[in-house]
Amino acid sequence: MKCIIIYFSLTGNTRLAAIKVKNGIMDSGHECELLEMRDFNQNIDLINFDILGFMAPVHAFSEPTIFKRFLKKLPSIDKPAFIGATAASSFGNFYPNINEVLVSKGINVFAKLSVIAPPTYIPLKSKGSENSVYMDSELQKAFNFGQKLINEYEDIIIKRIKQIPKFKKDIGSSIISILANNDRSLRFAMGTIKIEKESCTKCGKCVDNCAWDAIVFESKDSYPKRIKNKCGGCYACINICPEGALWNISTKEKPRYIEPSYEGYLKTK
């Protein structure tokens, strides 16, 4: 069997979980490719894969808007798939929302993975607190999921001795999602991002890592600038800045987080 996992990662949590799933699939004797959502292009033909995987972080009790837009642009294809998410606590309506989009594309979701990851939303952290770390048990869960994925596929899709899972929306999460899960309200809550020019080295990590393309260099010698009406309010830029030069009032003196093995998104040349 040949699988592909298309993932979206902001500070590395989902990337690491996707790697663990891939390792599990390969450990079971099957092939698996890993692809960051932003590297997907029309030259990649999903018809060449037996199983598709889609993974992303939970964003405001639901899916990141940019990830949902990406899925809506996928070609319609009759393929089985699994969906996975990383979250600090609640997974909200991530699964029913993503399943809804995939079903509209002819893609049947037969399995899901939920991975508890360290929190990345800085405003909810306490001043002077320390960052959490990934629990080994959660990473092992992702590996085990990949290891058993093909058997699950055979039981549900081929042998039909199990049923395809149903995804029900949670009313409470739906209300919160309507209020919070859109780029406009999140960036409004985020407010103004400030740059400490004394600390900024103009390394460009905030520019490269912004999935919304909301941070730019206006000129060769300028400091990074946020285009507010494009921002997704995810705090990835503040989390990933190696010098801590980016901040706002809700992040001051609070710990930033980036998964230790993650060096940032690197665009495919």
**Domain membership flag for residue 162:** yes
Q: Domain for residue 54, yes or no?
A: yes
**What CATH number is given to the structural domain containing 128?**
3.40.50.360
Query: DSSP labels for the chain?
Result: -EEEEEE--SSSHHHHHHHHHHHHHHHTT-EEEEEEGGG--TT--GGG-SEEEEEEE-BTTB--HHHHHHHHTSPP--EEEEEEEEESS--TTHHHHHHHHHHHTTEEEEEEEEEE-----GGGSPTT-------HHHHHHHHHHHHHHHHHHIIIIIS--SPPPP----HHHHHHHHHHSSHHHHHHHH---EE-TTT-----HHHHH-TT--EEESSTTPPEEE-GGG-----HHHHH-TT--EE-TTTTTS-----TT--------
Residue 238 forms part of a structural domain = no
195 in a structural domain: no
Tell me the per-residue pLDDT of 36-93, one tens digit each, with 9 for 90 and over: 999 999 889 999 999 999 999 998 888 999 999 999 999 999 999 999 999 998 898 9
Instruction: Report yes or no on 157 lying in a domain.
Output: yes
The total number of structural domains in the chain stands at 1
pLDDT surpassing 80 at residue 116: yes
58 belongs to a structural domain:
yes
Q: Give domain status of residue 217, yes or no.
A: no
Predicted confidence (pLDDT) per residue in 129-177, tens digit = 999 999 999 999 999 999 999 999 999 999 999 988 888 877 766 666 6
Residue 39 in domain: yes
Q: How high is the pLDDT of residue 180?
A: 59
What domain range includes position 106? 2-172
What pLDDT, in 10s, does the model give residues 61-72? Answer: 889 999 999 999
Residue 108 pLDDT = 95
